[in-house]
Amino acid sequence: MTSRPRLPSSAAGAPPAGAPAVARPWRVWGALWIVYIVWGSTYLGMRVTVETMPALLGAGARFVLAGALLCLLVVVRRGPRGIRLRRREAGGALLVGTLLMGANATVMAAEQEVPSAVAALLIASVPLWVLIYRTLAGERVGRAGVAALILGFAGVALLLLPGEGARSQAPLLGLVVLLGAASVWALGSFTSPRVALPSDPLASTGWQMLFGGAACLLAGLIGGEAGDVNPGAFSARSLVAFAYLVVFGSVIAFSAYAWLLRNAPLGRVATYAYVNPVVAIALGAVVLGETITGPMLAGAAVVVASVALVARLEARRRAAAACERPHRAAPEPVSGSSVTSVSQAG
């Protein structure tokens, strides 16, 4: 779950006003599978990276590099004006980037002790936390939204119960830290459409990564991770995983996602929110040999079902809002409303 590009408000089954027609199905599904596989695999990538690299400094370096690459991509396509920031936009990117990248860095740190599959399942609760923030802000989420909350956190409880669930594979503190990271991730997503950000989704994401990555680097230095930096001790697989997170997890997947937001129906794009955890579980088991128990599968099924319900409700809400405001484009990130990944570590 990192920040997601802003999503123009539109009917769930159509691209935004003024956008190109819906692309050919093979192109849409190709981009979707990039998002499914790459963002679902970032939990595996983080788990392997922190085997020999410091978590906070590693996350900070990842986001600074990825943010610079995204901004460079925008400059190549649109010129230097494409990444120009107003003062309010800089403040918004700093706030949202610090929350989202900070949460992602916390996940990376927790994965030193917690299996990647478990981390992915707990971070999948981000949409549920967003619903809580919307409720606290006075928004109505309806009975179905409340039902999704109850269902989702019942699944989280299943994961945290003693026995053969996640508690059997990770310390309780690590699991609690991940839930805290999910709540901060959700706060960043909830805040995103409520502050000024650059209108270009890639430029916005690039600046958020740059600011958030710098905050992670500062946190790592304050936390004493500088003493853990020993390039000679970095394993080849950690370096490969780090490069994968920068190039594929950030630049390529975010570019595919931004393209989907302009060329595919929202309801189809939103499916990444509940596909990513499934991909993360499968990869953790196959690549790292992580143990998947019956209680974990039960909790996973409940959490994923609740996220799917939230995504469906959100698509309906946006479709209704678009009908009420047909001539107004009110950007809102997918993750900010209810269908994050991240991701999704992203």
Quote the CA–CA distance of 291 and 288 in Å, as a whole number.
Answer: 9
Asked if residue 343 belongs to a domain, the reply is no
Q: What is the pLDDT of residue 334?
A: 35
CA 234 to chain centroid, in Å, comes to: 26
The answer to whether residues 212 and 97 touch, using CB atoms and an 8 Å cutoff, is: yes
Tell me the percentage of the chain whose pLDDT exceeds 90.
48
The rounded distance, in Å, linking the Cα atoms of 167 and 191 is 32
Per-residue pLDDT tens for 230-267? 999 999 999 999 999 999 998 999 889 888 877 887 77
pLDDT (0 to 100) of residue 254: 86
Q: What is the pLDDT of residue 16?
A: 43
Closest residue by Cα to residue 204 from 274, 276, 261, 254: 254
pLDDT surpassing 70 at residue 164: no
- For 193, the domain range is 6-337
Bridge pairing between strands 332-333 and 6-7: antiparallel
Q: In this predicted structure, what is the pLDDT of residue 7?
A: 42
pLDDT of amino acid 300: 87
Does 345 map to a domain? no
3 state SS of 341: coil
Q: Crossing angle for the helix pair 272-288 and 25-49, nearest 10 degrees?
A: 50
Mean pLDDT of 215-223: 96
H-helix or E-strand spanning residue 199:
none
Lowest average pLDDT, out of 106-120, 141-155, 321-335, goes to 321-335
For 21-78, what is each residue's pLDDT tens digit? 557 788 888 999 999 999 999 999 999 999 999 999 999 999 999 999 999 999 999 9
Give this prediction's pTM: 0.82
3 state DSSP class of 6: strand
Residues 250, 69: Cα–Cα separation, whole Å? 9
The per-residue pLDDT for 6 is 45
Q: In one letter, which amino acid is 165?
A: G
Which of 53-67, 135-149, 208-222 shows the lowest mean pLDDT across its residues?
135-149
Q: Is residue 198 part of a domain?
A: yes
Task: Identify the pLDDT of residue 323.
Answer: 65
Q: Around Cβ 161, how many Cβ atoms within 10 Å?
A: 14
pLDDT level of residue 9 (50, 70, 90 thresholds):
very low
Q: How far apart are CA 343 and CA 42, in angstroms?
A: 7
In one-letter notation, the amino acid at residue 286 is V
DSSP assigned state of 245: I
Is 346 part of any domain?
A: no
Tell whether 212 is covered by a domain: yes
Q: Which residue has the higher pLDDT, 204 or 316?
A: 204
Residue 344 forms part of a structural domain: no
pLDDT digits (tens, 9 = 90+) for 287-317: 999 888 888 888 889 988 888 888 777 767 7
Q: Are 272 and 32 in contact (CB under 8 A)?
A: yes
- pLDDT, the chain, mean: 83
Residue 227 has pLDDT above 50, yes or no: yes
Closest CA to 253 of 22, 63, 40, 96: 40
Number of domains in the chain: 1
Answer whether residue 302 is part of any domain.
yes
- Window from 65-74, 203-212, 325-334 with minimum mean pLDDT: 325-334
Q: How confident is the model at residue 18 (pLDDT cuts 50, 70, 90)?
A: very low
User: How many Cβ atoms from other residues are within 10 Å of residue 166's Cβ?
Assistant: 28
Residue 18 token pair:
């003024």
Q: Are 304 and 124 in contact (CB under 8 A)?
A: yes
Q: Is the dihedral of CA 243, 256, 102, 221 positive or negative?
A: positive
pLDDT number for residue 319 = 66
Answer whether residue 342 is part of any domain.
Answer: no
